[in-house]
Chain A
Amino acid sequence: MAVTKNDVLEWIRAYAQVIADNEDYLTELDSPIGDADHGANMHRGFKAVLDKLPANEDKDIGKILMGVGMALLSKVGGAGGPLYSTVFIQMGKSIDGKMEFELADWANALEAATQGVVRLGKASPGDKTMVDALTPAVEALKEASEQGLTLGEGLEKSAKAAEEGMIATIPLVARKGRASYLGERSAGHQDPGATSTFLLLDTAVKVWAKSQ
């Protein structure tokens, strides 16, 4: 039971489609508490990712993920660009050289990604950011890995945890990013970054569980 390089490529392509389908939704979430650009930025970024993907297809998983990160860095801008770029670059570094990986590797990769995001964005859990979806997802993956659950079960649990983390951002008062300018008025809205992060992990379950 492992995720192969082809699974990873399929995941990236599927996520690009999910982002295209959800562009308006993400922008709508970003309008009341941000600057109405998250959907458009992610869509532009993942179009660039798809353009550059063929050049890295014959490389290992780590290089492919790092390539995704570099494409995002040069196309997205805003805070989302460097942050999502870090997610993929840190994952790539963690899985560098591999042609397939197991649940424990994935737990480490997502943990490295989360640490990278925290370092760059200086956000803590509860600040109403993508960290609120990433942190519980990492914990769920580590627990699943320690309990010896299957890859499919672990992915399922991590996506569920990310979803709960995303929903839990609704009542929070933002302390990072543009939403923080609103103070108390940021409460009552779901964080767009936590939402696109949940979609990323949800797409992993849908694509990878199917292939197992």
Chain B
Amino acid sequence: MKKLINKPEDVVLEEFKGIELAHPDLVKVHYDPDYIVRADAPVKGKVGVISGGGSGHEPMHGGYVGMGMLDAACPGAVFTSPTPDQMLEATKAVDGGAGVLHIVKNYTGDVMNFEMAADLAKAEGIDVEAVVVNDDVAVKDSLYTAGRRGVGLTVLMEKIVGAAAEEGRSLQEVAELARKINGQGRSMGMALTSCTVPHAGKPTFDLPEDEMEIGIGIHGEPGRTRMKIKTADEVTEILMKPIIEDIPYEEGDEVLLFVNSMGGTPLIELYILYRKAIEILEAKGIKVVRNLIGPYITSLEMAGCSFTLLKMDEDLIKLWDAPVKTAGMRWGV
């Protein structure tokens, strides 16, 4: 294992210390239980928006805490969901009297821990709504799986819902907006390499030099199929086809196209992928009205990418363009 770390068990804690030193204008870091809240939390009268999950997906979620996005993030150990006491304390810390929305990615552990936290917070008199993100078309949504995973759409939801909360919308409105986004966004990803969880010390799966995994999640878990490596254009087609067919996206639709790096893939390659995705969408009469390109939801140093498509409307575009000031995403300020 070659990593710029000190001790595997200190990785998340030392990252926290770094964030605290780097962004005192944006966030406050709380230890034991661990969570990051925006510097001016709680914002009186505003719905608090919280997300959380395992670490290793940076800048998600800690990098998205700040004005116009999340009020708090609860990071767990690398690839491990956080615990209910973290989420409960974060919920209390951001409750400005208008209630708190939990954005939960659909993984067995995340859902269980957030459910427990929501019950505890409600018992303390805080209004809590939870929305589960499950946008990954690589997983068959059936009785025989844990259901579709929450992946790239989470980032878009955090930005848009965060803007709606900032604007002063109610908890019910913000939760409905989040559910609407979940209903009209889909993603799929692939990996060229595995990744190494610091405390495991070796790659989570073996991937020969000439092969790739299609349909991976964001935790270094292997995908649904493995195949010989193909060109950027062919990979774009393999991933975009199931996304477009799933909802389906149709001629005349206006969408946000998000091309994400899993951590190890450079921007130069993401733009090659973006170019091909635009070609595919244009051929179908689908118009890309906004985009996001870069490493926004990663899987440590994994090389690979994911595509996310979100159907947009006037309201979503306005909220997407609204000012945001976080470590990981910043515009309009």
Interface residues of A (CB under 8 A from B): 27, 31-32, 34-37, 40-41, 44, 73-83, 120-121, 173, 175-178, 180-183, 185
Residues B81-116 near A (CB distance < 8 A):
81-85, 107-109, 112-113, 116
Q: Is the CB of B224 within 8 A of A182?
A: yes
For the complex, give the distance between the alpha carbons of A102 and B197 in Å: 43
Size range of the chain B interface in the assembly: 35 or more
Q: A59 to chain B: closest CB distance in Å?
A: 21
Q: Does any Cβ of A come within 8 Å of B222's Cβ?
A: yes
- For B139, list chain A residues within 8 Å (CB): 181
Stretch from B123-131, B157-165, B198-206, B283-291 forming part of the interface with A: B198-206
- For B82, list chain A residues within 8 Å (CB): 77
- For A76, list chain B residues within 8 Å (CB): 80, 83
- For B33, list chain A residues within 8 Å (CB): 74
B80 contacts which of A37, A176, A181, A182 (Cβ < 8 Å)?
A37
Contact digits for B55-85, partner A, Cβ 8 Å, 1 yes 0 no: 0000000000000000000001111111111
Interface residues of B (CB under 8 A from A): 33, 54, 76-85, 107-109, 112-113, 116, 138-140, 143-146, 149, 197, 199-200, 204-205, 217, 219-222, 224
Q: Which 10 A-B pairs have the closest CB atoms?
A: A79-B109, A78-B109, A180-B145, A35-B219, A79-B108, A77-B76, A36-B200, A82-B112, A78-B80, A40-B199
Given A37-B79, A73-B85, A74-B83, output 13 extra A-B contacts at Cβ < 8 Å: A32-B205, A32-B222, A35-B80, A35-B220, A40-B77, A77-B81, A77-B109, A77-B113, A79-B107, A82-B116, A178-B108, A180-B146, A185-B222
B145 contacts which of A37, A77, A175 (Cβ < 8 Å)?
A175
For the complex, give the distance between the alpha carbons of A80 and B236 in Å: 36
- For A79, list chain B residues within 8 Å (CB): 81, 107-109, 112
B221 contacts which of A34, A73, A80, A175 (Cβ < 8 Å)?
A34
- For A178, list chain B residues within 8 Å (CB): 107-108, 146, 217, 219, 221
For the complex, give the distance between the alpha carbons of A75 and B112 in Å: 14
Chain B residue nearest in CB terms to A123 = B108
For the complex, give the distance between the alpha carbons of A73 and B113 in Å: 9
For the complex, give the distance between the alpha carbons of A151 and B39 in Å: 58
- For A32, list chain B residues within 8 Å (CB): 205, 222
- For B224, list chain A residues within 8 Å (CB): 181-183, 185
- For A181, list chain B residues within 8 Å (CB): 138-139, 145-146, 149, 217, 221, 224
For the complex, give the distance between the alpha carbons of A175 and B109 in Å: 15
For the complex, give the distance between the alpha carbons of A73 and B117 in Å: 11
- For B79, list chain A residues within 8 Å (CB): 35-37
A80 contacts which of B109, B138, B144 (Cβ < 8 Å)?
B109
For the complex, give the distance between the alpha carbons of A83 and B224 in Å: 26
A82 contacts which of B77, B109, B204, B221 (Cβ < 8 Å)?
B109
For the complex, give the distance between the alpha carbons of A177 and B222 in Å: 14
- For A36, list chain B residues within 8 Å (CB): 79, 197, 200, 204, 220
Q: Is the CB of A35 within 8 A of B204?
A: yes
User: Can you name 13 A-B residue pairings with CB atoms under 8 Å?
Assistant: A27-B199, A31-B204, A35-B220, A35-B221, A36-B197, A37-B78, A37-B199, A40-B199, A77-B80, A77-B109, A81-B113, A176-B146, A178-B107
Q: Is the CB of B109 within 8 A of A121?
A: no
Q: A90 to chain B: closest CB distance in Å?
A: 15
Contacts A36-B79, A74-B83, A77-B76 given; indicate if A176 touches B222 (C-beta within 8 A): no
- For A74, list chain B residues within 8 Å (CB): 33, 83-85
Q: A35 to chain B: closest CB distance in Å?
A: 4
Q: A53 to chain B: closest CB distance in Å?
A: 19
- For A44, list chain B residues within 8 Å (CB): 77
B197 contacts which of A35, A81, A185 (Cβ < 8 Å)?
A35
For the complex, give the distance between the alpha carbons of A76 and B221 in Å: 19
For the complex, give the distance between the alpha carbons of A185 and B138 in Å: 14
Chain B residue nearest in CB terms to A76 = B83
Q: A132 to chain B: closest CB distance in Å?
A: 16
Chain B residue nearest in CB terms to A75 = B83
Chain B residue nearest in CB terms to A175 = B144
Q: A55 to chain B: closest CB distance in Å?
A: 17
In this complex, which of B80, B84, B205, B222 has the most chain A Cβ atoms within 10 angstroms of its Cβ?
Answer: B80
For the complex, give the distance between the alpha carbons of A120 and B108 in Å: 10
Q: B56 to chain A: closest CB distance in Å?
A: 10
